[in-house]
Chains A and B, each alone.
Chain A
Amino acid sequence: MARESDPRRALNGLAAAFGIAGAVAACANGPASAEPEVPAVIVDPTPQTRAELAGVISAALGAPVTLADDALAGGSVLVVERREPRDAQGRPLSGRSLEAPERFRLVLDRGRCVLVREATDERFPLAATCAPADG
């Protein structure tokens, strides 16, 4: 069917923008778990851990994603946004984007490495080895 491009990520002014902050704050409450989860990073990333991470995020977004080699190895938050095509002069096709990027955060939840999509609070267990993030 015809559809708007990612209407979930569309911002419309102040209310929607603060909605993002609100959603982030809400997700910060974490899951209903007796043990608090902690921000985490991937330890010794490998091609396999990167592939797993890319696969999980691609499945969540329903589209391919390009990640840096050190994704979630240096920090617990990963921001994903549209790989915006460029026009004939090299400028972003949209250039005035109202879409909100997607934020994912990595946590250790009862010893398991879990990727959390902040906009939806979806949780994706990972096989990668994680450690608590500094700070």
Chain B
Amino acid sequence: MTIKHRPRAGLVQGITRSWAWLALAVAAACGGGGGDGPPAPQPQGPSNAPGAPGTNGGWSPGLFLPSASFAGQCAAPRPGTGDLQGSVLTENNWLRSWSNELYLWYDEIEDRNPALYSTPQYFDLLKTFQLVNGKPKDRFHFMLPTEEWERFTQSGSDTSYGVQWVIVRNDPPRRVVAGYTQPQSPAANAGIERGAEVLEVDGVDLATAITPAEVDALNRGLFPAAPGETHRLLIRDRDAQAPREVELTSAVVTTVPVQDVKTVTTATGERVGYLHFTDHIAIAERLLVEAVTTLHDEGVTDLVLDLRYNGGGLLAIASELAFMIAGPGPTAGRAFELSRFNDKHTATNPVTGLPLAPTPFFDRAIGFSAVPGAPLPTLNLSRVYVITGATTCSASESIINGLRGVGVEVIQIGGTTCGKPYGYYPRDNCGTTYFSIQLQAVNEQGFGDYQDGFSPQNTLGADGVLLPGCSVADDFSKALGDPEEARFAAALDHRASGTCPAPAAGVGPSGLFKPLDAASVVDGVAPKSPWLESRILVEP
């Protein structure tokens, strides 16, 4: 695959401005002739005359023609499209100019001769290589074939067994367990529940497989590519002593992104709501409305929002859910999130051409799947408990940051989030779609510097933004929504006493994606289809 990924987030220090302050800054930028006009050659250091002939193939360091002058000029034009005959150089020149126009950290790109690289190599260089806290600043630099990007699905429907595997450890001794299942799916029908551990796949030992062929077999068997594939898994159910063999046949399974909606009555008679939210997809809108309506009707005075396996998605749904939690009091007329582009685009979205405006807290259903325009139910809470893990990312982090921006207390239980306050407008050129970070998302207070994620305050070795709460490992010994499940239990205990259990080793940010000690109780990775890596599990 051509997917590339990289870095960590850039620190834009001192962003603690009010929107009034920001508005003044924007006005000043516009009055000064602004940076939102059409791109023009921009000297950034020593330069030759633009387009000068010579050994550089026309490259003049620091001078940039508009990307539009190179767009669609392809080394291999696609038949039936508007592609024109070009070359690797024209494709690289387009990337060079496009990155200079839109990349968030364009001024940290080293300007290299585009004639000297293949296009994938060149794209890989068109980013910052700076480090923050010893980690790459940009971890989210991708490219992939446009035909893979341009695929659609009925909301929530995709090929799978209907079980969300969690990779607790990805090298021998490997460990994969079931995180949750979809109702009426092949996995659910086979009796697989959270905590079931995979021991073998089509006869290959999961823990010890070493050869590429063995690991390929594991990937094929755990992550089927098409409906109708049958594989045999040896699993050990939660609380079971003996393993059992199951035969699973993949199908187009419909995800239920809001599950386990329930109310727990505490010893003091207070009612605490819980909901497990896994995907910001269109059908989630209606389910979230139904869930919040139920919790409201049951009179909850606190909410535990479980986002541990939620990697984000539609930002508008994050805004709707944040409004449903907080209600109109703290949110009316305030920003849920604002996109900040590079300093050439301080007033206008350079992609849409629209004036920069914050995403509000939506108080009515947009209509992705709920009734368009219907008022959203609210819990009117001044605080929320959020369960998080390594998979908690992007729009899920926006819920945390957006609520904190309007003064709602967010108490975090679990592991450090992924740290992605960034976004893109993916762009096709010549059959490849490029993801180059173009914006940083900030909240009502102008804060968006959580590139190392959010961490509960007692997390060991955390680099990210510390929030009140407790570091607690994922607990596969209990069902999600079980008040005895370690993370849910910690939320309930913290609510009652303000205390945390001892922080678990391996839950800190450095322990999330690297090989883990066998003894660690950890926070796994929850891969969801379609997976861009051709191989999910890896050989050592």
Contacts and interface: CB of A to CB of B under 8 A. Distances in A.
A25 B373 contact: yes
Interface SS majority for chain A: mixed
Contact of B527 (A62, A71, A86, A93): A86
B120 to A, nearest CB: 16
Interface in B515-540: 525-533, 536
Interface residues of B, number: 85
B152 A82 contact: yes
Interface in B255-281: 280-281
Given A5-B427, A21-B372, A87-B532, A97 B313 contact: yes
B245 interface: no
Interface size range of chain A in the complex? 35 or more
Contact of B428 (A3, A11, A83, A91): A3
B7 to A, nearest CB: 12
Contact of B71 (A1, A80, A91): A1
A2 B67 contact: yes
Which of A65, A82, A95 has the most B CB atoms < 10 Å from its CB?
Answer: A95
A13 B358 contact: yes
A62 to B, nearest CB: 7
A69 interface: yes
B289 interface: no
B152 A80 contact: yes
A92 B82 CA distance: 29
Interface in A59-111: 61-69, 71, 77-103
B180 to A, nearest CB: 14
B527 A2 contact: no
A97 B251 CA distance: 27
B150 interface: yes
29 contacts: A4-B426, A5-B149, A10-B352, A11-B315, A12-B354, A13-B358, A20-B367, A20-B372, A58-B152, A64-B152, A65-B152, A66-B154, A67-B153, A71-B157, A81-B153, A84-B313, A85-B3, A85-B148, A85-B530, A85-B531, A85-B532, A86-B311, A90-B536, A92-B312, A92-B393, A93-B426, A95-B393, A103-B367, A103-B368
Interface of A: 1-5, 7, 10-18, 20-21, 24-25, 57-58, 61-69, 71, 77-103
Q: Which 8 A-B pairs have the closest CB atoms?
A: A95-B394, A90-B527, A91-B311, A95-B312, A1-B72, A2-B71, A2-B429, A63-B150
Interface of B: 3, 5, 67, 71-72, 81-83, 94, 98, 140, 142, 144, 148-155, 157-159, 251-252, 254, 280-283, 311-316, 349, 351-352, 354, 357-360, 362, 364-369, 372-373, 390-391, 393-395, 398, 418, 420, 422-430, 433, 435, 441, 513, 525-533, 536
